Structure 1
Amino acid sequence: MPVPAAQLDPIALADKDEELFDIVDDENNVIGQEHRNVVHSQGIKHRAVYCFVFNSKGQLLLQQRSAKKKIGPLQWDLSIAEHLEPGEEYRQAAARGLREELGINVEAARLAGPLVPVHLRELRVPEKGVRDCEFVTSFRLDGWEGTVVADPAEVHAWRFVSVEHVRQDMQDSPDSFTAWFRDELRAVNYFLTEHPDPI
């Protein structure tokens, strides 16, 4: 059963348009900085990272995105999807995202990965004026049995479920999940289920 996040001031917004991102060229080299709203409206390449959290039973932590999110409100998502802060490395951003969104405090070195090479992912949401172009990779945290304290500005609810259950739910109700989660689960499927060691 999903665990709800704490109540939040209704005027709070999950997405901060003035947040600064490093922007990158076609080879993922940093060439400057720009605000979130400009990056997402103009399709400027930037960086993001995903992390999959598993408990000792091998169940995957899913988060349901806040209703305040501009993209994918109330859709189920992977454990965390985080933009990199200026000057930040992928692994450090994954650890920060775990801490900020889920209250999971672990050293970055504990994260296995990257699970796949850094790759470019593009998401278009014309009705929201969004063209999101990110260089992304993924990490995983295994055996988590500590507390989860979700940030209600980011997370509406969360739950642990088996990967097999996630796959079936995605097949039955694909629109209940974010587009990038559907894509990324396919991209790292081999490493998630059969070969847990990172590349």
Structure 2
Amino acid sequence: MSLSFAGRIALVTDPGDHLALSVNVADKASVASLVRSVIEQLKAPPNLLANVAGITQDNFLLQMDEQSFMNVIDVNLKGTFLVTQAVTSALQEHEITSGSIVNIASIVSKTGNMGQCNYASSKAGVQAFTKTAALELARVGVRVNCVLPGFVDTAMVTTVPEKVLTMLLKNVPLRRLGQPEEIAEVVAFLLSDKSSYMTGASVEVTGGLAM
């Protein structure tokens, strides 16, 4: 989860310019405590929100236990709901009538992926949640969009066996993994006023995978 204030996304150079707070996004009380702490210390709720929390607990459908399925749903989908609800409620309470939210889904929400029935389901839910939230929150001035990354060079992808990754990259027209900065640039655009006429959109950042 990333929080920004006053419509700005800037490089943090002064430790006093930001907060680092621990939160369990799957726990409503923890999320509420986070938002209260932000308001207490910065005197206003965040009006820019990037929901980026995500976990995987991969296994094939027939071998996956119920807890592994629900753990991923709780963090990836329920967490997105709880944080979005808490932040937008705080905006209304403080009579702030503008804001932007970006939720991180995944290209596997569109394509599915072997061994990831829980992850793909959770990210498909995030995409559908984004569209409904965009419809409901437009009346209070909050835009909600979604980014669908492809295979990005992160710790999550390092767990994929090399031969499997090589096979996957053959399906990527740009023939490489994405870089985290390339996803961040799109998120920053969607949070900014440069995308002021976009809401409910799902933007694929995949190197051309699954066009």
Place the TM-score, normalised by the shorter chain, in its bin: under 0.3
More contact order relative to length (CA 8 Å, sep ≥ 6): 1
Which structure dedicates a bigger proportion of its chain to strand?
A: 1
Which structure dedicates a bigger proportion of its chain to helix?
A: 2
TM-score scaled by length of structure 2: 0.27
